[in-house]
Amino acid sequence: MRLLVLLHLLLFVASAQSILLMNSSDNVEKYNQAATAFKENFHQPIKMINISDMNTKEIKKYLYDEYPDIIYTIGSKSYQYANRYLPEKTIFFSSIVNWKRLPLSKNQYGISNEVYSGMQLTLIKSIFPKISSIGVIYSKYTKNIVDSLKMNAQKLGIKIVAQEVNKESVKKKDFQPLLKETQALILISDPVLLSEQEVVKDIFKESAKLNKAIFAYHQLFINYGALLTISVDNPTIGRQMATTITDYLQKQKISKVQYPIGTKVIFNKRVADKLGISYNENISFLANEIVE
């Protein structure tokens, strides 16, 4: 009997898959929030590494020495290294902006860092029912996000007016026609637009002058004057990934890339009052935080 138990134990150890949590930087709060929540909710042994202070040679050696079966990468830097040196392994990712730019193979899965546009627009419409037209500035890198916004906006009676920019045209700051044509602007995480910090600041200034609201994807923009921010909830990302990898280990079917299931909504009442924008009186039930 004892021999049978020992054999079962040896078989389990032999079949158990080694798992590595690879954090791009423990100096980034959102990465740590996802990592902590993952560790608290994933009930199997894992190894962890922070690569922010490691050079390429050290990272390569570590990955080859450990050679884990499954790697959960947090942030684009860790994903790129895992994909470069261990593409044959199963790689999961989160906390990466615009994941569609990533080279994905059949053994790579993730959780998007963008909130599902249908949910985003539904929240906006619920809080600001009089909003019927929204502008968006995008580049070739985020066209897929704009296409999704347009598709879901139609269902809610919202018109999306999009303006495409590139590295040259974005510097002209010619956004007044877009702002005048729409009631509000939705700021997406576009690498071309966001590379010009002064341009972003000017957009907020012009919007305020024209009494136009800005909806953004990160709470940082509350300080710029955003009326509403809808962002992913990072601890929920970690918990969601723990469930996803557990399902994978149990050979359950999982989605290639999932939308995050948790959001954080911040409503800037101070800006709403200043712009004279009406909003749902039940705002306290719709927003996680209200800035007075």
Q: CATH number of the domain that 176 lies in?
A: 3.40.50.2300
Q: Over 70: is that where the pLDDT of 182 sits?
A: yes
- The model's pLDDT over 22-49, given as tens digits with 9 standing for 90+, comes to 999 999 999 999 999 999 999 999 999 9
Residue 271's closest CA among 145, 127, 152?
A: 127
Domains in the chain, number: 2
* Angle, helix 29-41 to helix 234-249, in steps of 10 degrees: 40
Is it the case that residue 116 has pLDDT exceeding 70? yes
> pLDDT-derived band of residue 141, with 50, 70 and 90 as boundaries?
confident
Residues 149 and 185 placed together within one structural domain of the fold: yes
Helix locations, 55-172, DSSP H: 56-66, 76-85, 117-127, 143-155
Q: What is the mean pLDDT of the chain?
A: 91
User: Any idea which of 52-66, 94-108, 212-226, 242-256 has the lowest mean pLDDT?
Assistant: 94-108
Residues 281 and 177 in one domain: yes
Pair 47, 174 in one domain: no
Token match 């990898």: residue? 245
Same domain, 77 and 210: no
Are 287 and 213 part of one and the same domain?
yes
pLDDT digits (tens, 9 = 90+) for 217-230: 988 999 999 999 99
User: Percentage of residues in the chain with pLDDT exceeding 90?
Assistant: 78
From 14-23, 54-63, 170-179, the region with the lowest mean pLDDT: 14-23
Contact between 207 and 159 under an 8 Å Cβ cutoff? The reply is: no
Q: What is the pLDDT of residue 177?
A: 93
What pLDDT, on a 0 to 100 scale, did the predictor assign at position 100?
73
Residue 3: strand, helix, or coil = helix
50 shares its domain with 108: yes
- The model carries a pTM of 0.81
Q: Say whether pLDDT at 167 is over 80.
A: yes
pLDDT digits (tens, 9 = 90+) for 188-203: 988 899 888 899 999 9
Same domain, 59 and 186: no
| Range(s) of the domain holding residue 254 | 2-112+234-261
Q: Return the bridge partners of 163, or none.
A: 137
Q: Specify the range with the lowest mean pLDDT, choosing from 92-101, 164-173, 220-229.
A: 92-101
Q: Are both 277 and 164 inside the same structural domain?
A: yes
Please tell me the predicted confidence (pLDDT) of residue 58: 97
